[in-house]
Amino acid sequence: MISFKNTAIVYNRDVPESSIVAGKAAELFSAKLTTPDSLRDDAEFVVTVGGDGTILRAARYYAKKNVPIFGINLGRLGFLAQANPDELEWAVKKLKNGEYKIQNRMMLSAFDGRITALNDIVIKGDTFSRTSRLYLSINGNHVCDYLADGLIISTPTGSTAYTLSAGGPVISPGLEAVVIVPICPHTLTARPLVIPSGEEIEVSSCDTCSGLKLSADGQNTIDVASNEKIIIKKSNIQAKLVVLNRENNGFYAVLREKLQWGVSPR
């Protein structure tokens, strides 16, 4: 069961109306407000108010502390969120009545855990106008070379985000797998690759190429030297997302509702 004693309300000040909704949530939970730039270490339960980006940032921080996260959506899609602002009081009642479950979501890590991601790790060249030459190896075995705008290494949770836009498959979040998707590859034979979560992925570039940029969940970006090998693995920590017990709240129902999956044109 979730302890609501030390609840933190994390809100995105850049999202309109977030402070109003966050203030109301703080009253209902008798909690304190905070922002993604000043997250509390003592929180035992976190409610985010904003879009999926707010959830992703909070998840990366609180996963190592095993703190569950519940999202109130003020963004455009809110695929990871569980309630809209007009459902806030109803959602709080269900939470306090124990009408929820906690889903453990797989994460990725790079550079020995210094970088973690719930959605994806994206590798691109640092020159905007040029494609990058990237070499992919799995478990020490060379797989292929890419001439592309970049490479997306995604979790099942991230398969409905950037990976989907780049032509990757949708993967149920309960599946232990990793998706590798090239971004605008300069060949017709480069296709998305789905591999077991326990595989070790290595991405590198040529020594004479320009450097690379690596981003986690599209937020945490670092520079990588062209001769540096990037090792990506399944993280040993998991994000904990709180899911309400409600009708049509399963993964496939959310696909249909929020992504209009398989909805016939009218």
The single residue listed with the structure tokens 């977030």 is 18
Which of 132, 130, 126 shows the shortest CA–CA distance to 150? 132
CB of 203 within 8 A of CB of 151? yes
pLDDT in tens, the chain (266 residues): 898 989 999 998 888 789 999 999 999 999 989 998 889 899 999 999 998 999 999 999 999 999 999 999 997 777 899 999 999 999 999 999 999 999 999 999 999 999 999 999 999 988 766 788 999 999 999 999 999 999 999 999 999 999 999 999 999 999 999 999 999 999 888 899 999 999 999 999 987 677 899 999 999 899 999 889 999 999 999 999 999 998 877 888 878 887 777 776 66
Q: Which of 98, 130, 148 is the last residue of a domain?
A: 98
How many distinct structural domains can be found in the chain? 2
195 shares a domain with 125: yes
Question: Whole-model pTM?
Answer: 0.92
Whether residue 126 lies in the annotated active site = no
CATH code for position 38:
3.40.50.10330
H or E segment to which residue 134 belongs = strand 132-138
CATH code for position 224:
2.60.200.30
∠ CA 86-171-160, nearest 5°, is 45
Q: How far is the C-alpha of 265 from the C-alpha of 2, rounded, in Å?
A: 42
Q: How many helices (H) and strands (E) does the chain have?
A: 5, 16
Q: What is the residue range of 52's domain?
A: 7-98
CB of 97 within 8 A of CB of 89? no
Active-site choice (52, 120, 149, 217): 52
